């Protein structure tokens, strides 16, 4: 039996916390690299057209600078991702405003930027396409069908229909994108970046620099927020830094300022969703017919996968026999969109939940009763053909949320409040119930073949080796807890290696709410192997540094270390067919419900949040405080999506690309939130855990919209629900 | 041009253009990279330091204006092996996730506590409204500042033994 | 991060007289006090190669003092100082309230009233209070001093009547003869804190003993190229009792004195509707 007390399920202090709290943790721009130059990027000023010429002003002191163009790319001029359609640097044509064309570097950062004004690009502009509804260039489509949705609609007692518009959203990590790169004497390209997926960058650099795996090394610096915005974009900025470094023969750092980061890098996909729902008179769902259109921007990037996840979540966590989902993502001449926490699901779940709200209203049913009638449980079969086997906590999350919020009482009080015309405000309460699959979709995890390892050195050092990155979610601490608890050692004896591709295996990207469930599971397996090996030599659960050292010497013998590596194995029951797109889409889903009570000022239409209650099923909770932090943080981003954040596109580019004009929630905008986790362990998750990262992004917008409907008797079907939108809705008739 | 000032209790100086930003002088010339740049607009607060005890955004201050004044940065609050009481409260409450907003957040909180700021949720949120965080949703940060206020922490550096 | 420090110059006068002299000599220098507006443009790379006239250490221009029938706000008085000063809190509370909404505490600690006024943003939160308090701006140059009423000082969005070589020395607000019966400051921003206003209102109402209006002063910011007093509505209610019909008419007159636009923050339609509602509430509710 382990002598060390339980670590999992307790709040261990953040492993890298002290360094972050003292300003000692090193983010990319904190590295002082000897002889480093600073890079700046020249970007296109038209949305579509041919590049006729790129001319450097002859009167400018270019000898002080290093300049790189597409001609300097030793390998392929594309950003390796799903398709290889996105140029690393534009050469003959551009497909969006802000597309990178040329790079400059100088030893003084301000002078690098100043040089950009001395490059003249001549274009032959062509008519750009900005409206996704007009675009014929389709990146990807999906068609999921079960039963006969038209017949079911025809036979339904009641039908509700809606059209929902979801905007771009900017990740707004407080640390902008940045990367440094240099070449070692042996020709190895090394890049240090603010990033989520070091092995994605390896793949991209191999292609663009025509280098073999051993000659590319990617190191994650301490990263100041990602949220998906640093999932694939680092492929671009790391390669740009590398191009300049190659030409300069010196290290180069490129750090975007806020305006460039907002205007040029990826955003959440905007979507238009048309939804018809049919139900019986007593509120049983009989038909759901969904059409989804997403705007991918100019290049494919991750659009097929965003669309996939959005499509698979589109009908919400409900039983419904006859379903059809038709989705497509198309090209427009705008900066490419990409990953942002939620990854398609916040868009489609907004529509799904608003449809439930419409149904409840039309049927005269309480919205909670409607959810109770239709929510999935163990044994439910999803439209894609997956039967939910275990850990289906949708109903528990719903009940916990309803209870903790005092939903019924508050709903009555809001209704009573609204009856009096003398009140200065309207009040409302709304609830949303959502699901979110953990891990890569379908055969994605198999395709990734993730690996993670635990090593014990002869000196007694326990190391966790994985390509998973820490950028605030608690990866480092979670991994430490899982491994330390499995081995019965104190937390401090476990060291998690910095994700450096020269030293860690490819554990897959740190995205898709997969890190704890998938990679944590691998580490638990690896640690169990080590534990078995220690038991075999008679030294189980070493609880002190000296005991661990003694055990290590015994285990390793003459070898410097012993390594235990686990590789992803598909569970036997998981079955997925890529061709028909049917089967088990995700090993497990997390579930969550959020209730929000709000107040709308009758004079200004401003919305104030009076209370937020969240209950979630995330499986086993490894670290309650960090899990709560993920929920509150994600829900705050969701409240921003719902109420405050507006990406304004004009002429194909973001017009309000700075914090002054793109307003994310401040401490004063964000309410206190009551968060609870319902017990619902997943048997294949490490200590029962599923995923939590993205779930909280899914419920705020529909919960807010439902509350607004209660307060104003109006449906607002587009985000953000600004005072202007509320004022406009109120000038029309009540729903 | 030579500008003289005090940083974290020590006399320092900078020789160079008076328009170099205090943020850059700290990070590049004085080797104090704890203060971060997040926006260059004075909106995010990541670059917050104390100037004569007041929270200010160092990305908007030319070094010429720092002449003869006292600057305090996050490096003055503690060290990883000797955290200050405010930092301990942050650690205990999970107030730092990715950590990039943390130095600025700590300095604004320190100024608040040193002014006698109370453990009041609303007052703390108002004070921290100029420090943007995208990870935490602020709740654990507010709890940490409340905890520090209740413990009588003035966010001052621990006295060296 | 785009400002090139090596290519910029800083002039640091030690006295107001030296400042005026230097500015006369270098008329295209940019006066800088708290820097909360100027340095944003600097960081974006827009002020390359300029010379800056740093007035921030001119002691004579800092501080708030009482003159015979007025309060003199030194141009270097910060938003923080203004919102804490007992005289401002007691006699000019709308100004104190406005100063507390100008950005976060970091901006309030540095931003000055002189810089605020010289920057002349159409959305300046302190301007409606200053407008209803009938503030004047004291200017100084090599040609001597002059006083300009605030509403004449602003000539357009981010434009003032400052002549080349002229600096803002102070803002003067006359002490009102008697306190108003009602006063309001209300900013409607893009979010709860640290936001540029969509509309920002300040109002003062004096009532006679018989309940008729002695004087109404109501000003709106972000509703026109410069801050505007609602002269039509103010003139209309004068001498009248504030019956629902009178209030309705006054509210309808709002559009005569403002010219709101659509921009990144809001729409003209919303701005006008909300501004009307704010005046409606102010004139209707007993305080």
Of B92, B97, B141, which has the smallest distance from its Cβ to A472's Cβ? Answer: B97
Query: What would the pLDDT profile of B24-66 be if each residue is shown by its tens digit?
Result: 999 999 999 999 999 999 999 999 999 999 999 999 999 999 9
CB spacing of B91 vs A173 below 8 angstroms: no
pLDDT at A728: 96
Confidence of residue B152 (pLDDT cuts 50, 70, 90): confident
Query: What would the pLDDT profile of A636-655 be if each residue is shown by its tens digit?
Result: 999 999 999 999 999 999 99
Query: What would the pLDDT profile of A190-222 be if each residue is shown by its tens digit?
Result: 999 999 999 999 999 999 999 999 999 999 999
pLDDT at C193: 87
Report the pLDDT averaged over residues A269-298: 98
DSSP type of residue A641: I
How many angstroms separate the Cα of A560 from the Cα of each of A539, A565, A689?
18, 16, 34
Contacts of A608 in chain C (CB under 8 A): 192
pLDDT at A575: 96
Give the relative orientation of helices A394-405 and A367-374 as an angle to the nearest 10 degrees: 160
Query: What would the pLDDT profile of A561-599 be if each residue is shown by its tens digit?
Result: 999 999 999 999 999 999 999 999 999 999 999 999 999
Tell whether A125 lies on the interface with C, counting CB pairs under 8 A.
no
Confidence of residue B161 (pLDDT cuts 50, 70, 90): very low
With CA atoms as reference, the chain A residue closest to C267 would be: A724
Of A175, A474, A633, which has the smallest distance from its Cβ to B137's Cβ? Answer: A633
pLDDT at A121: 98
How many angstroms separate the Cα of A652 from the Cα of each of A136, A318, A649?
17, 38, 6
Query: What would the pLDDT profile of C18-41 be if each residue is shown by its tens digit?
Result: 999 999 999 999 999 999 999 999
d(CA A198, CA C111) in angstroms, rounded, equals 43
Give percent of chain A with pLDDT exceeding 90: 98
**How many beta-carbon contacts under 8 Å exist across A and C?**
76
Does the structure show a pLDDT above 80 at A1?
no
How many angstroms separate the Cα of A52 from the Cα of each of A42, A90, A99, C34, C142?
15, 12, 15, 46, 54
Does the structure show a pLDDT above 50 at A154?
yes
Average pLDDT, chain A: 97
With CA atoms as reference, the chain C residue closest to B129 would be: C104
pLDDT at A579: 94
Query: What would the pLDDT profile of A346-394 be if each residue is shown by its tens digit?
Result: 999 999 999 999 999 999 999 999 999 999 999 999 999 999 999 999 9
pLDDT at A312: 98
Does the structure show a pLDDT above 60 at A302?
yes
Beta bridge partners of A327: A142, A292
Does the structure show a pLDDT above 80 at C285?
no
DSSP type of residue A488: T
Residue count of chain B: 161
d(CA B151, CA C57) in angstroms, rounded, equals 38
Q: What is the token pair recorded at C64? A: 């708030």
Q: If contacts are CB pairs under 8 Å, which of residues 34-63 in chain C contact chain B?
A: 35-36, 39-40, 42-44, 52, 54, 56-57
User: Residue C62 contacts by C-beta under 8 Å, 6 or more apart in sequence?
Assistant: C74, C76, C77
* Better-scored residue on pLDDT, A171 or B154: A171
Report the pLDDT averaged over residues A242-256: 98
User: Residue A446 contacts by C-beta under 8 Å, 6 or more apart in sequence?
Assistant: A568, A570
Closest among B147, B39, B132 to B85, alpha carbons compared: B147
CA dihedral over A543, A549, A555, A559, signed as positive or negative: positive
Contacts of B134 in chain A (CB under 8 A): 171-174, 225, 227, 633, 637, 664
Cα-Cα end-to-end distance for chain A: 63
Tell me the nearest-neighbour CA distance from A377 into chain B, angstroms.
31
Look at residue B31 and give its three-state secondary structure: coil
With CA atoms as reference, the chain C residue closest to B47 would be: C106
Beta bridge partners of A275: A162, A290
Residue A11 CB neighbours (<10 A):
17
In terms of DSSP H, where are the helices of A313-365?
345-363
Tell me the nearest-neighbour CA distance from A500 into chain B, angstroms.
18
Does the structure show a pLDDT above 60 at C158?
yes
For chain B, what percentages of helix, strand and coil (3-state, to nearest 5) are there?
40, 15, 45
d(CA C118, CA C159) in angstroms, rounded, equals 8
**Per-position b or e across C42-64, b if 16+ CB within 10 A of its CB:** bbbbebeebebbbbbbbeebbeb
Q: What is the token pair recorded at C213? A: 């209006």
What burial class does residue A382 get, using C-beta atoms within 10 Å of its C-beta: 0-12 exposed, 13-18 middle, 19+ buried? buried
CB spacing of C194 vs A666 below 8 angstroms: yes
d(CA A14, CA A309) in angstroms, rounded, equals 31
Residue count of chain A: 735
pLDDT at C194: 79
Query: What would the pLDDT profile of C174-199 be if each residue is shown by its tens digit?
Result: 999 899 999 999 999 999 887 899 99
Closest among A622, A601, A621, A619 to A610, alpha carbons compared: A601
């Amino acid at each position: 039996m382990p002598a060390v007390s339980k670590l999992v399920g307790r709040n261990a202090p953040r492993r890298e916390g002290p360094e972050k709290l003292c300003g000692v943790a090193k983010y990319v721009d904190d590295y002082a690299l000897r002889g480093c130059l600073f890079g700046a990027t020249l970007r296109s000023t038209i949305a579509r057209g041919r590049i006729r010429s790129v001319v450097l002003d002859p009167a400018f002191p270019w000898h002080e600078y290093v300049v790189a163009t597409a001609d300097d790319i030793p390998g392929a001029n594309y950003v390796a991702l799903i398709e290889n359609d996105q140029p690393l640097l534009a050469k003959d044509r551009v497909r969006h405003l802000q597309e990178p064309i040329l790079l400059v570097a100088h030893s003084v950062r301000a002078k690098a930027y100043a040089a950009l004004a001395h490059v003249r690009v001549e274009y032959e502009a062509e008519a750009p396409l900005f409206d996704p509804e007009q675009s014929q260039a389709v990146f990807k489509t999906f068609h999921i069908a079960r039963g006969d949705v038209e017949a079911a609609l025809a036979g339904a007692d009641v039908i509700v229909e809606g059209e929902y518009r979801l905007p771009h959203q900017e990740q707004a990590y407080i640390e902008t994108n940045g990367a440094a790169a240099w070449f070692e004497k042996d020709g190895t390209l090394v890049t240090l970046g603010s990033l989520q997926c070091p092995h994605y960058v390896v793949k991209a650099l191999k292609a663009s620099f025509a280098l073999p795996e051993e000659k590319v090394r990617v190191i994650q610096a301490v990263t100041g927020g990602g949220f998906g915005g640093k999932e694939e974009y680092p492929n671009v900025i790391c390669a740009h830094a590398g191009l300049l470094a190659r030409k300069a023969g010196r290290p180069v750092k490129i750090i975007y300022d806020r305006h460039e980061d907002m205007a040029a890098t990826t955003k959440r996909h905007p979507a238009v969703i048309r939804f018809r729902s049919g139900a019986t008179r007593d509120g049983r769902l009989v038909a759901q017919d969904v059409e989804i259109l997403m705007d991918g921007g100019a290049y494919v990037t991750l659009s097929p996968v965003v669309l996939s996840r959005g499509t698979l979540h589109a009908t919400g966590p409900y039983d419904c026999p006859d379903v059809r989902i038709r989705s497509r993502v198309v090209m427009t001449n705008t900066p490419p969109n990409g990953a942002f926490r939620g990854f398609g699901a916040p868009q489609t779940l907004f529509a799904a939940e608003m449809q439930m709200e419409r149904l409840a209203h039309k049927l005269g049913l309480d919205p909670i009763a409607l959810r109770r009638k239709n929510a999935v449980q163990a044994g439910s079969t999803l439209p894609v053909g997956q039967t939910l086997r275990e850990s289906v906590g949708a109903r528990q999350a719903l009940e916990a949320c309803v209870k903790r919020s005092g939903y019924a009482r508050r709903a009555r009080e809001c209704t009573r409040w609204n009856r009096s015309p003398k009140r200065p405000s309207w009040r409302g309460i709304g609830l949303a119930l959502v699901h979110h699959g953990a891990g890569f979709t379908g055969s994605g995890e198999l395709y990734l073949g993730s690996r993670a390892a635990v090593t014990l050195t002869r000196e007694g050092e326990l190391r966790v080796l994985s390509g998973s990155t820490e950028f605030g979610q608690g990866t480092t601490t979670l991994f430490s807890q899982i491994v330390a608890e499995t081995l019965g050692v104190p937390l401090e004896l476990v060291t998690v290696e910095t994700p450096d591709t020269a030293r860690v295996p490819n554990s897959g990207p740190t995205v898709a709410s997969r890190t704890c469930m998938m990679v944590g599971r691998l580490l638990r397996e690896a640690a169990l192997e080590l534990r078995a090996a220690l038991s075999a030599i008679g030294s189980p659960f070493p609880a002190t540094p000296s005991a661990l050292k003694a055990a290590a010497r015994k285990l390793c013998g003459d070898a410097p270390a012993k390594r235990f590596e686990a590789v992803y194995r598909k569970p036997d029951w998981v079955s997925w067919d890529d061709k028909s797109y049917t089967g088990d889409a995700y090993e497990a889903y997390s579930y969550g419900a959020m209730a929000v009570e709000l107040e709308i000022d009758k004079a200004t239409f401003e919305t104030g949040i009076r209370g937020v209650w969240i209950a979630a099923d995330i499986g086993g909770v490894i670290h309650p405080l960090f899990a709560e932090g993920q929920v509150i943080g994600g829900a705050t981003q969701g409240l921003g999506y719902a109420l405050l954040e507006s990406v304004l596109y004009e002429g194909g580019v973001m017009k309000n690309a700075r914090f002054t004009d793109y307003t994310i929630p401040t401490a004063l905008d964000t309410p206190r939130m009551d968060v609870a986790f319902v017990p619902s362990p997943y048997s294949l998750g490490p200590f029962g855990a599923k995923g939590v990262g993205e779930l909280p992004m899914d419920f705020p917008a529909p919960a807010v919209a439902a509350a607004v409907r209660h307060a104003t008797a109006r449906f607002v079907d587009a985000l953000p629900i600004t005072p202007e939108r509320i004022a406009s809705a109120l000038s029309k008739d009540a729903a | 041009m030579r500008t003289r000032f005090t940083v974290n209790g020590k006399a320092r100086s900078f020789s160079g253009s008076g328009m170099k930003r205090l943020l850059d002088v700290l990070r590049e010339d004085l080797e104090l990279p704890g203060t971060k740049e997040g926006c260059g607009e004075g909106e995010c607060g990541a670059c917050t330091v104390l100037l004569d005890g007041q929270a200010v955004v160092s990305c908007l201050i030319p070094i010429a204006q720092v002449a003869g004044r006292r600057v305090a940065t996050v490096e003055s609050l503690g060290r990883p092996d000797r955290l200050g009481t405010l930092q301990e409260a942050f650690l205990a409450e999970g107030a730092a996730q990715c950590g990039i907003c943390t130095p600025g957040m700590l300095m604004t909180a320190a100024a608040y506590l040193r002014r006698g700021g109370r453990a009041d949720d609303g007052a703390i949120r108002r004070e921290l409204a100029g420090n943007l965080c995208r990870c935490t949703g602020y709740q654990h940060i507010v709890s940490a500042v409340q905890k520090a206020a209740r413990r009588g922490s003035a966010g001052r550096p621990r006295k060296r033994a | 991060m785009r400002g090139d420090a090596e290519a910029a110059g800083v002039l640091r006068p030690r006295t107001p007289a030296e400042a005026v002299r230097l500015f006369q000599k270098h008329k295209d220098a940019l006066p800088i006090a708290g820097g909360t507006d100027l340095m944003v443009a600097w960081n974006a790379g827009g002020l390359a190669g300029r010379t800056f006239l740093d007035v921030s250490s001119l002691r004579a221009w800092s501080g708030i003092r009482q003159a015979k029938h007025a309060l003199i706000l030194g141009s270097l008085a910060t938003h923080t100082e203004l919102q804490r000063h007992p005289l401002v809190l007691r006699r000019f509370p709308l100004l104190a309230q406005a100063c507390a909404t100008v950005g976060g505490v970091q901006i309030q600690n540095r931003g000055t009233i002189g810089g605020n006024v010289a920057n002349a943003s159409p959305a300046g939160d302190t301007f409606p209070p200053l407008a209803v308090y009938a503030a004047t701006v004291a200017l100084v140059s090599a040609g001597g001093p002059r006083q300009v009423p605030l509403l004449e000082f602003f000539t357009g969005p981010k434009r003032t009547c400052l002549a080349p070589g002229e600096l803002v020395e102070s803002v003067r607000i006359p002490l009102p003869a008697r306190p108003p019966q009602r006063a309001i400051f209300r900013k409607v921003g893009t979010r709860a804190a640290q936001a540029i206003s969509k509309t920002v209102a300040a109002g003062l109402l004096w009532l006679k003993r018989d309940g008729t209006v002695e004087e109404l002063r109501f000003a709106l910011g972000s509703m026109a190229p410069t801050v505007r007093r609602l002269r039509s509505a103010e003139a209309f209610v004068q001498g009248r009792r504030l019956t629902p019909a009178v209030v309705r008419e006054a509210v309808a007159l709002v559009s005569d004195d403002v010219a709101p636009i659509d921009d990144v923050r809001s729409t003209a339609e919303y701005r006008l509707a909300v501004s009307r509602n704010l005046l409606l509430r102010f004139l209707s509710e007993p305080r």
